[in-house]
Structures are given as structure tokens and as C-alpha cells.
Chain A
């Protein structure tokens, strides 16, 4: 690659000629930087990149730092050179559900073992349903059936509430308390959801969001069981259960490469 990158790079000050009124300047600049970084095959440092795109070194540096933060570029620790990051490679392909299961498996097992409840991981399928993509049995060796592939209603399950709360188009600002939009806003703000017998009488669930690279919520992870063993008399999650669910969801998010999870 390194012998040919020069030809692919726009001439100096190229950006001035491609800026179109009404576009966002920093995104255009970031895109130009990504093109240069990709074409260089990881052989350029900040000075060369700034020169290639015709920007001040400080501006280029702050754009590169942002790209580094979201995983779109990576920096070699010894040379300081920049290369295309794993985040950008993942852009074209959505997160495969089977990949999701493989990457979450250890954490889901640990959550079931520690909580004593069955664990399910689900993704959104349309507006009204979620699909179970991974299921770990309740660790009591009773007869249980693998629920992978089962569709569940989104509005009455904790898994569904987590996913709807973070789905695009559901980000209603300043929703009134006590309304459906208000409940989703609350789920979004506190980072977990519950259902107490809304889907099946006597059965409940506690769930938290799993985030992928870039911070998008890609799945919900939750435990389910009898309402009385999950919640106390006032309807709050019992003892350490909530922390175990949110910790496990964060661990899977880290595994998937979400930053700050």
C-alpha cells in the first residue's frame, strides 16, 4: 500500500474547493482525514496528515483525537502514526446476532450463576417485538426449553422497554410522567427497566442495555423469574440483583467495544 498512497491523496488545500454551503465543516474535514489515513496505510503522523488535508496542525490533531475516541482511527504507540480503526471496519456490517451471542456467552453464564435466575439477551425486531438471541437456563436443573428465536412483545417486557427506550424515533424529550413516553424516558435516564407481571402474570424481568461500538444500544440483557423473587414489597429490584444485571450488561458492552461502558 505504502508505495501508492501518494496518488490517492488530494492536493494541499483541496478542502477549500470541495466545501459546499449548508454542509457541516468538521464532518467534511474528518472525512478528508479518514481518506488520507486510509490511503496512507498507517504511515503518516499528524504533521503529514495536516499537510495533506491543508488544515492547521492543532485542528487536525483535535479531529484525530475525536476519531481516535470513537474508534475510527488507531494510533501506533511507538511511531505515533495513524491507521484506520476497527470501528470504521465494523460500520458496513451491523452486529450479527450470532456474534452477539458468542461474545456475551461468558457474561450471561456468570449472571445466571450469580443471580440464580434465567438470563435472556434480546434484540429489537420491528416496532412491537423483540427476539431472544441468547438464553441461559435458571441454574436449578429443572426442565426448561431453550427460547432462542422466540418473539416477545416489546411494550410489556423489560427487554422490550430497554430496546424501545433507546430506539431511534422514541427519543421524545420532556415526556410527561406516568405516560408511556414518560416511562421510556425514565428507562433511558436510569439505564434499566423492569416488568412486574405485565407480560405473564406472576413473572417479571429486570433488564439493562448492551451497547455496541460507538455507544449504540444493540441488545438488552435481563434476568427473569417470579415477581416475588425479583422484587420487594414496594416493587423495587431485590438486593444485589439490579447491580448484577447492569454490571453484566456493561461487561458485554465492553466486550463489544463500546467506549465508556
Chain B
């Protein structure tokens, strides 16, 4: 049974069509964004955005493993973003843009590096790193470039007040970014491992139920 070529799941159309797979993983991503997103926002957990992105990576990268269609991550992301827009009780503009940009970055990275462990780990790592940059981008769009001038000036004032050396800030940022990347890398590894295991279990299940691949 283990000799069954797992790529048959996607190559043989009757088993699972790309359209249904993309729709289902997009809906799962959207549901996760609405439910877990609201919980994480409510409890104000540190790195909540990175955690949400890491889980999103697990979902869409696992889904991407089952479909060969290019642009599938963008489609899943668009579904998730639209669902998020219509979810009640959230500030919509930021997360909407974040999901779309995440999907775009994910799609580009997977198209370049292909479906393998390295690309999954690297893509997820980059995406969780992006969560650090995203607030700056969205605030730049909403408030304009002057918001950066205010941030910079505020930082200088705080540094002067506490006599903090600028080089320390550099190390803090590197450490913070490193933690984000690690979180992403773990989720990428998990997505790859999950997809491999799910393929096996799903084939076993279909075989058990006498479905032909």
C-alpha cells in the first residue's frame, strides 16, 4: 500500500479536483483567521500576528501540496481575506491586506523554489518575518510616510531618556526577527511533514473503502 504513488491524488481528477481543494483549504484558512484571529486579538498574546501567520502557513502549504495549480495560494488567500473582511468585530483593513500579501509572497516563493522541505521552511520563515514589517507598511498606507518620521523621532527621544545605545536596538531587532523566523520555520516543517503523512493516511483510507486511485 505504501508503494502507491501519492501524486495520483492530484493527477487523477476524479479523486479530488483542484477547484474543490483550493476552495476547501481557502475556507479553512478563512475560518482559522476569523476564529483564532479574534481569540488572539482578544487575549493580546505577544507575537499574535506571527502565530496566526504560522498557522496560516501550515494550512495553505499543506493545501498546496495536494494541488499542482499555480496561483492556488493566491486563490486560497483571497477567499480567506474576503471571509475576514465580513467577519464581525475586527478592524478589517490591516488583516485584509496582510492575508493578501502573505498569499502573494507564499505563491511567489513556492513557484520559485518548488514543493520541498526547504521551500516550505524558508517560505514560512519569510512570511512570519513579514509580520514584523506589515504594520509599518499598512500604517504607511493609512497615515502616510510621515508616520515613520514620528516613530523615528519617538525612538530617539526614548533612547535619550533612558540612555540606550543604538547598537543594542539592533541586537534586539535581530533577536526578535530570529524568534519570528524560527516560528515560521517550524510551521513550514510541520506543513511538509503533515502533508506527507496526510497523503499516506488518506490513500490508506481510500484503499480501505475500496476507492480506486
Binding partners A and B: no
- B contact residues vs A (CB 8 Å cutoff): none
- A contact residues vs B (CB 8 Å cutoff): none
